[in-house]
Amino acid sequence: MTRLEPAVALVCGAGSLPYAIADAAVQRGRTVVLFAIKGWADPERVPRYRHHWVTLGKFGRWRALAREEGCRQVVLIGGLVRPALGDIGLDWRTLRILPRLARCYRGGDNRLLSGIAEILEQDGFEVVSAQELAPDILVPRGAVGGVPPRATDLADIDRGLAVLAALGPFDIGQAVVVCDGRVLGIEAAEGTDQLLGRIAALRADGRVATPRGRGVLIKAPKRGQDRRFDLPAIGPATLSGVIAAGLGGIAVLAEAAVMAEPQQLIRAADAAGVFVLGIEPTGAHPR
């Protein structure tokens, strides 16, 4: 049997998305090697795959392992919180690229990830997107699941998209919560789960007093962001957060957001009466 495509290195942070992508890639006949980041990747799930545990700051060791495994393509996937540069134990190769890394640290996540991708490519790797490896994880256009959005939801979605478009130049969050025309929360460094937790808390202490089942979580990529990584993602934790926050649904830009464990997500959303919508791309939010 001829190996048509080289192995792909999946650098895994937190969350369930890395395993959904690994499974989908294997199903498509790819050879996958997980490089699981200590402290972030799930120690329960990693051992089911061919893998190496790696440490942030040991870039030289990672590069040697990836070459040994014959990986030419690299996918960066899953949550990762930027540690203080001074807290990372650095190997020699990492020290050499440190000035460039430090420059990427000034700014948002997209800048940091683009900087890392550039360094990888100068070393001869090809950085590819998770969706290239596993196109099935992209959220399609239209209602996903059986609950449709209402007209007020569509108005809230438009407003949310306008807010995200306005924030595009600043490399900030990709998520916003809008209810009855009022912007309740905007994601910055805290992430979507915390944003949703905040809305639930505002509701609990009476500061958000709209009836349950109204309001939408809207997610879209940043304008001009490198879509090879850090696409907006939704998964079971997102849905739980939306339900706890008393919102009516989730809307993400179609074909520009990824869904971990889609079957489970759709079943749970339908059961809770929460809509999940893939928004048609527009001028401000192109494909």
Q: How far is the CB of 61 from a second copy (least distance, A)?
A: 23
Q: Pick the binder of a second copy from 124, 206, 263, 283 (CB under 8 A).
A: 206
Q: Pick the binder of a second copy from 26, 65, 143, 162 (CB under 8 A).
A: 162
Name the DSSP letter for residue 14.
Answer: B
Query: Nearest-CA neighbor of 78 among 18, 10, 23, 137?
Result: 18
Contact between 209 and a second copy per CB under 8 A? yes
Contact between 188 and a second copy per CB under 8 A? yes
Nearer to a second copy, 60 or 79 (CB): 79
Contact between 207 and a second copy per CB under 8 A? yes
Dihedral, 95, 97, 102, 108 alpha carbons, nearest 10: -130
Q: Which of these segments, 5-13, 25-33, 143-151, 182-190, binds a second copy (CB under 8 A)? A: 182-190
Q: Find how far residue 149's CA is from the centre of its chain.
A: 23
Q: Pick the binder of a second copy from 143, 202, 237, 266 (CB under 8 A).
A: 202
Q: Which of residues 107-146 bind a second copy (CB under 8 A)?
A: 107-108
Nearer to a second copy, 28 or 100 (CB): 100
CA 271/CA 73 separation, integer angstroms: 39
CA 36/CA 12 separation, integer angstroms: 5
Nearer to a second copy, 64 or 201 (CB): 201
Half-sphere exposure of 7 (CA within 13 A, CB side): 17
Contact between 106 and a second copy per CB under 8 A? yes
How many other CB atoms sit within 10 Å of the CB of residue 239? 23
Contact between 183 and a second copy per CB under 8 A? yes
Q: Name the amino acid, one letter, at 7.
A: A
Q: Pick the binder of a second copy from 189, 204, 271, 284 (CB under 8 A).
A: 189
Q: Which of these segments, 28-36, 60-68, 79-87, 223-231, binds a second copy (CB under 8 A)? A: 79-87
From its phi and psi, is residue 263 left (phi > 0), alpha (psi between -120 and 50) or beta? alpha
In the structure encoding, which two tokens stand for residue 107, read together?
A: 């700014």
Degrees (nearest 5) of the Cα angle 31, 35, 40? 135
Q: How far is the CB of 145 from a second copy (least distance, A)?
A: 27
End-to-end CA distance of the chain: 38
Q: Pick the binder of a second copy from 210, 227, 244, 266 (CB under 8 A).
A: 210
Chain positions contacting a second copy, by CB under 8 A: 81-84, 87, 105-108, 159, 162-163, 166-167, 169-173, 177, 180-186, 188-190, 194, 198, 202, 206-210
